Amino acid sequence: MVEGQIEGDLTLRGHLTVAEGGSVSCDAVEAESVTIAGSLQGEVVANGAVQLAASARVRGNLKGSAVTIAEGARFSGRLDCAFELPQELGGSTREARPPAPARR
Amino acid sequence: MASTVIGAGIIIEGEITTDEDVVVLGTVRGKLSAKEAVTIQAGATVEADVAGGALAVAGTLTGNITAGDRVDLQAGARVVGNVKAARVTIADGAQFKGNVDMDV
């Protein structure tokens, strides 16, 4: 849970919450799942869901299994979640990627 | 206002331009330009760049989206492309891959 300000990278295994008024400025954030109600600048990679609340102000790239943006949230950047498209629209968006490294 | 409905059994390839609301239940390939609301319902497949006033997507869409007012990706929506609108929401259960630009 971030209520103040952070500059730098964040890596955690659990859930990250950036509370309203909190601010994160970094190159990379890695977490299991992320909820942002404050402001964030940088790249976010989550295994699970990424949620932007109405008060969120985010600039950067988000990657997660599912991404939701609430009414009122401001976001600029790239969203990436892998899913299957029907065959006629080019099949899967999942790129072939090397197997994930073993968890420490 | 009267709306144009592209029914579930209809496949349109080409360019659609209208001043009315558009509701898509079928398949559209090409380009879709409307001044008012565009609704892409669940089950619809759109492979086109879409422009409109307010866009609601519950179906499958590949292409770039530009809206004068807002874009709502609803649960069940599967969208690959870039979204440009002042207000964008992504509901829980919607899947999206691409850039979001709210700096309009």
- Pair A16, A34: CB distance under 8 Å: yes
Contact between chains at B89 and A70 (C-beta distance less than 8 A): yes
Number of domains in chain B: 1
Question: Mean pLDDT throughout A28-33?
Answer: 92
Kindly identify which residue of chain B lies nearest to residue A92, measuring between CA atoms. Answer: B80
Burial (CB count within 10 angstroms: exposed 0-12, middle 13-18, buried 19+), residue A16: buried
B56-62's contacts with Cβ under 8 Å and 24+ in sequence apart are B57/B94, B59/B24, B60/A85, B60/A86, B60/A89, B62/A85, B62/A89, B62/A90
ipTM confidence score: 0.80
The answer to the question of residue A102 being in a domain is no
* pLDDT band with cut points at 50, 70 and 90 for residue A97: very low
In this complex, which of B45, B94, B101 lies closest to A89 when CB atoms are compared?
B45
Beta carbons within 10 angstroms of residue A76's beta carbon:
14
Picking from B13, B10, B11, B77, the residue whose alpha carbon sits closest to that of residue B39 is B77
Question: Does position B94 have pLDDT exceeding 50, yes or no?
Answer: yes
pLDDT value of residue A91: 54
- The residue count for chain A: 104
From CA A84, how far away is CA A89, in angstroms rounded? 10
Range of the domain at B76: 3-101
Q: Total structural domains in chain A?
A: 1
The share of chain A scoring above pLDDT 70, in percent, equals 79
Give the model's pLDDT for residue A2.
81
* Shortest Cα distance, chain B CAs vs residue A62, angstroms: 10
**What percent of chain B stands above pLDDT 70?**
97
A51 domain residue, yes or no: yes
Q: Contact A75/B100, CB-based, under 8 Å?
A: yes
By the CB < 8 Å criterion, does A95 face chain B?
no
Given an 8 Å threshold on Cβ–Cβ distance, is A78 in contact with B90?
no
Chain B residues with a Cβ under 8 Å from any Cβ in chain A: 45, 47, 60, 62, 78, 80, 87-103
Residue A41 counted as domain residue: yes
pLDDT at A26 over 60: yes
User: Domain for residue A104, yes or no?
Assistant: no
**A104: confidence class by pLDDT, cuts 50, 70, 90:** low
Lowest mean per-residue pLDDT among A3-12, B21-30, B73-82: A3-12
Residue A94 is assigned to a structural domain of this protein: no
Residue A96 belongs to a domain? no
Q: What domain range includes position A30?
A: 5-89
Distant-in-sequence, close-in-space partners of B38: CB < 8 Å, separation ≥ 6 = B21, B22, B24, B32, B50, B52, B53, B54, B55, B56
Residue B19 confidence (pLDDT): 92
Is pLDDT at B63 greater than 70 in this prediction?
Answer: yes
Residue A89 three-state SS: helix
The token pair that represents B13 in the structure block? 């390839």
Size of interface A-B (CB pairs under 8 A): 61
Question: In angstroms, what separates the C-alpha of A91 from chain B's closest C-alpha?
Answer: 11
